[in-house]
Amino acid sequence: MAELKCTTMPSPQTNQALPRGLVIDGYRFERQLSMGGFSIVYLAYDAEETPVAIKEYLPHALATRLVGLVPQVSPANREAYQNGLMAFYEEGIALARLNHPNVVHVINFLRANDTVYLVMRYERGRTLHDHIRKHHTEFRESFVRGMFARLLSGLREVHANKLLHLDIKPSNIWLRTDGNPVLLDFGAARQSLCQIDPALRPTYTPGYAAPEQYGNQPDQGPWTDIYAVGASMYACLAAAAPQPADFRLVKDGLVTATRRWAGQYSPQLLDTIDQCMRLDPLERPQSVFTLQRMLASKAQPDISADPAET
């Protein structure tokens, strides 16, 4: 699972993952699954030998671990590290309250070694990113509509609980073996950490972050995640990320979906993607409910008649 990284310059040194066979509170760590700028994710097993995914808080910009289990944090970084740890923990608590089949499920929390670990349900399958790489010439419109409709069902539950994802992209969309999608790796805690310490400079996944995420602008909301959903749909058709939003703000060279795939997909689907990726947040669908209707219908709905999210 790739991550939206929160780093200083120069790039931080890669930290040492926890060793295979380590046991923390009954969970036996097997191997590293992914490493990003904010955390490391492991495959582990509980006391009943049920596989779980465990996400360890370890921001590379603030802490190093070359040997041992405990991250080394300098006195200058200690306050930011603790504040980020609390944001990470609180986000985990919020996710644990959600029980939706299309959202990653947090089932436990561990405090040890001066950090926090989130224990999550392990899902078998692969990322949408990997699926695109393998099937980039085989994306039917019915797959795009159906898969993203189910994903939006989970995202709507996230927004209803006053949360934002802030890092939706194909590598953070997990496809179970039955094709059902799951939202992974929320970016809200990482953004909180960047806001806590102005010395930390946020960088974003090129192509998927909305314009308002650059510079941590305050006008972020459901429409911010909707931009990323549109960019992810665009990537399904293009087999590559679209032009990054910060480049588009300078000189918009993005070929719209309506122009690029005219005649290959329905005009309504292509226009839906383009609306999601408008640079002005007010010109995008303002809620997941609106976007769900747009994907479910061949006729373009009137987005001005959107009811409030529940």
Q: Are residues 35 and 77 in the same domain?
A: yes
Domain count of the chain? 2
pTM over cut 0.75:
yes
Distance CA(305)–CA(310), nearest Å, equals: 15
Amino acid symbol at 109:
F
CATH of the domain at 104: 3.30.200.20
For 72, the enclosing helix (H) or strand (E) is: strand 72-73
Distance CA(165)–CA(103), nearest Å, equals: 10
pLDDT at residue 272, as a whole number: 97
- Name the residue range of residue 101's domain: 6-10+19-121
Q: Are residues 101 and 154 in the same domain?
A: no
Q: Are residues 145 and 282 in the same domain?
A: yes
Strands 39-45 and 51-57, how do they pair? antiparallel
Q: Are residues 200 and 232 in the same domain?
A: yes
Task: Collapse the DSSP code of 122 into the 3-class scheme (helix H, G, I; strand E, B; otherwise coil) and give the result.
Answer: coil
In a domain, 38, yes or no: yes
In a domain, 130, yes or no: yes
Distance CA(29)–CA(273), nearest Å, equals: 41
Q: Are residues 166 and 286 in the same domain?
A: yes
Q: Are residues 72 and 178 in the same domain?
A: no
Q: Are residues 164 and 77 in the same domain?
A: no
Q: Are residues 105 and 147 in the same domain?
A: no
Cα 139 from chain centroid?
22
Q: Tens of pLDDT along the chain (310 residues)?
A: 333 333 333 344 478 999 999 999 999 999 998 887 788 999 999 999 999 999 999 988 899 999 999 999 999 999 989 988 988 888 888 888 888 999 998 999 999 999 999 999 998 899 999 999 988 777 899 999 999 999 999 999 999 988 888 889 999 999 999 989 999 877 655 565 555 555 455 556 889 999 998 876 778 899 999 999 999 999 999 999 999 999 999 999 999 999 999 999 999 999 999 999 999 999 999 999 999 999 987 644 444 334 334 3
Q: Are residues 233 and 286 in the same domain?
A: yes
Task: Collapse the DSSP code of 252 into the 3-class scheme (helix H, G, I; strand E, B; otherwise coil) and give the result.
Answer: coil
Task: Collapse the DSSP code of 241 into the 3-class scheme (helix H, G, I; strand E, B; otherwise coil) and give the result.
Answer: coil
pLDDT at residue 198, as a whole number: 54
Give the CA-trace dihedral at 158, 164, 167, 173, to 10 degrees: 10
